[in-house]
Amino acid sequence: MHRRLFAASLGAMAWSMPGWAASQDAEASSPPGYTVPEALLQKSVAQRFPMRYPVPGLLNLDVQAPRLRLLPDQNRMGADMEVIAAGPALNRTHRGMFDLSFALRFEASDRTVRAHQLRFNRLRFPTLQPSVVDLLNTYAPMLAEQSLMEVVVHQLSPKELAMADAMNMQPGSITVSEQGLVIGLVLKPL
């Protein structure tokens, strides 16, 4: 019990350290956390793109880096992704967009925040016939899942976690705010 009280009191001191701070818009009862700015999230995700998904003999779908959106009212993130479709089945190159949203989870084994629970919203190709768009929409959820499921949104460095480790704490809740992600801390299990 003394260890937990000691860790909790150290936690109060840690929030004055750079990077670890109370969220400005958080309720008074909300625990402070580490804020990851939206620009840093965008940079992390963009490293994995562009991606190509061939449909042999018909077309290639090239997915460009997503534009991330913070959805604090849903505690999720959104992504708008440009898709370029070209190949023998199409007369020319067509540009479209699909959008989706996803929740976030922390993976302790590699200190990463990852996308999961994807919700595909819609695929739009304004220059394609509606029947072709309908056909592509059958593949779109799979394409979205392959593109973003479990994608690393942010990786915490050992330095970022050093203070938490010293206090016997670990990342817990992940809250989407207007500024980025707030990663809360919880005591490690005994």
Give a yes or no: residue 133 inside a domain.
Answer: yes
Domain interval for residue 89 = 2-12+38-187
Amino acid at 159: K
**In whole angstroms, what is the distance from residue 59 CA to residue 133 CA?**
13
Residue 28 lies in a domain: no
How far apart CA 174 and CA 121 sit, in angstroms, is 23
Distances (CA, A) of 156 to 4, 36, 37, 38, 112: 24, 9, 13, 15, 6
Q: Residue 115 pLDDT more than 90?
A: yes
Q: Would you mind telling me the total number of residues written for the chain in this entry?
A: 190
Domain at 48, CATH number: 3.15.10.40
In a domain, 140, yes or no: yes
The answer to the question of residue 24 being in a domain is no
Which pair of tokens denotes residue 12?
Answer: 């109060």
**Residue-by-residue DSSP string for 100-136:** EEEEEEEETTTTEEEEEEEEEEEEE-TTS-HHHHHHH
On whether the CB atoms of residues 181 and 174 are closer than 8 A, the answer is yes
Region 90-114: what's the mean pLDDT? Answer: 93
Task: Please give the average per-residue pLDDT across 38-44, as a whole number.
Answer: 95
146 domain-assigned: yes
Pair 183, 33: CB distance under 8 Å = yes
- pLDDT for 173: 93
The total of structural domains in the chain comes to 1
Q: State mean pLDDT over 165-172.
A: 89
Tell me, yes or no, whether 160 lies in a domain: yes
In a domain, 23, yes or no: no
Give the dihedral sign, CA 168/169/170/172: positive
Residue 1 has pLDDT above 90, yes or no: no
**Predicted local confidence at residue 5, as pLDDT:** 41
8 in a domain, yes or no? yes
